[in-house]
Amino acid sequence: MLLRHIRYLLAVAEHRNFTRAAEALHVSQPTLSQQIRQLEDNLGAALFDRSGRGIRLTDAGEAYVRFARLALQDLEAGKRAMHDVRDLSRGSLRLAMTPTFTAYLIAPLLHRFNSLYPGLTLSVQEMPQDRLEAALAEDLLDIGIAFSGMHLADIQSEALFTETLSLMVGVTHPRAAGKALDAGDLEQQALVLLSQDFATRQHIDLYCRQQGIAPRIAIEANSISAIVELVRRGHLATILPTAIALEQPGLLALELTPGLPRRTVALLSRKGAWRSAACRAFATLAGQWRESSVPSAGQSDR
């Protein structure tokens, strides 16, 4: 049974005449009669009584037409829903990111996305990159924001921008008015750093090993907001993405020589996964954000 059979049935039921129904449908009357016969054969019952001068629905036809009208209404509603999803008036997006992005990227990016597409529902999670990639592979997420590098076999990466790390101090810190520091100066600074299960901390540790220095770590924490508050109070420094200092008041980013590591921020998704209209819209917005809102490697850290 095809959708046209339902449309033909309802037209004949409305007009009570094959000729007028055929004209309304822009088909020939023999074609219409043939299609109705096919439908009756498929259902195993006569839908119309053709014995009189006109035609009328049989009892079976009356029962079937009632459900056919409801079915056609549901199909038309489904078509409208499809259009709604395409024009982003409805839909959903499952997003995750690694923790440092919550401090400078996610709030303004999601605010912009929600302003553009208020009908879309977002589910946002924060998780380590290994868990994020596993969730993408299992189709528990639509898209993730993390870092380029070695990924699971079925994860694809789309570069967004290059993130820089900086030494950060509060505005009352003794170094706040200073110039760029040598890497060796880190050994003289009391630091509060992310704990070692963060990718950012792994970059910092690698930098220190390469420079042959042993940093003075006063506090380790697994909360970026806690680190920001500690640094704002004045006597501790930290190392975080440069953009955090631009987003968070009361922080200053100082340049180290040699420079701290840079890393490529990327959109991650499952290879071959179908991207919804909401997912495509978010990817487009994230790409535009890279060009207009995130400081590049060559931009001033102050």
Does residue 298 surpass a pLDDT of 60? no
Does residue 110 surpass a pLDDT of 90? yes
- Per-residue pLDDT tens digits for 157-174: 999 999 889 999 999 998
Q: What pLDDT, on a 0 to 100 scale, did the predictor assign at position 300?
A: 37
CA dihedral 226, 229, 234, 238 (to 10 degrees): 50
297 band by pLDDT with thresholds 50, 70 and 90: very low
190 band by pLDDT with thresholds 50, 70 and 90: very high
Percent of the chain with pLDDT over 70: 93
Residues 6+ apart with CB under 8 A from 272: 154
Here the tokens at position 288 are 């535009």
Does residue 139 surpass a pLDDT of 90? no
Q: What pLDDT, on a 0 to 100 scale, did the predictor assign at position 301?
A: 37
User: What is the CB-side half-sphere exposure of residue 124 using CA atoms within 13 A?
Assistant: 18
Q: What pLDDT, on a 0 to 100 scale, did the predictor assign at position 302?
A: 34
CA distance readout (Å), 199 to 64, 125, 130, 190:
63, 17, 10, 21
299 band by pLDDT with thresholds 50, 70 and 90: very low
Does residue 296 surpass a pLDDT of 50? no
User: Exposed, middle or buried, 225 (CB in 10 Å: 0-12/13-18/19+)?
Assistant: exposed
- Per-residue pLDDT tens digits for 58-101: 999 999 999 998 888 778 767 766 665 777 888 889 999 998 89
Does residue 294 surpass a pLDDT of 60? no
Q: What pLDDT, on a 0 to 100 scale, did the predictor assign at position 275?
A: 81
Here the tokens at position 293 are 């809102």
Q: What mean pLDDT do residues 102-125 have?
A: 92
Helix (H, G, I), strand (E, B) or coil at 279: helix
Q: What mean pLDDT do residues 221-250 have?
A: 90
Contact 286, 171 (CB under 8 A): no
Average pLDDT, the chain: 87
DSSP 8-state symbol, 237: B
CB atoms within 10 A of CB 48: 20
DSSP string, 111-174: HHHHHH-TT-EEEEEE--HHHHHHHHHTTS-SEEEEE-SS--TTEEEEEEEEEEEEEEEETTST
Does residue 143 surpass a pLDDT of 60? yes
Helix (H, G, I), strand (E, B) or coil at 238: strand
Q: What pLDDT, on a 0 to 100 scale, did the predictor assign at position 151?
A: 86
Q: What pLDDT, on a 0 to 100 scale, did the predictor assign at position 58?
A: 93
Q: What pLDDT, on a 0 to 100 scale, did the predictor assign at position 277?
A: 86
Q: What pLDDT, on a 0 to 100 scale, did the predictor assign at position 60?
A: 94
> Hey, what domains does the chain have and what are their CATH numbers?
3-86 (1.10.10.10), 92-161+264-292 (3.40.190.10), 162-262 (3.40.190.290)
Q: Which of 203-212, 260-269, 283-292 has the lowest mean pLDDT?
A: 283-292
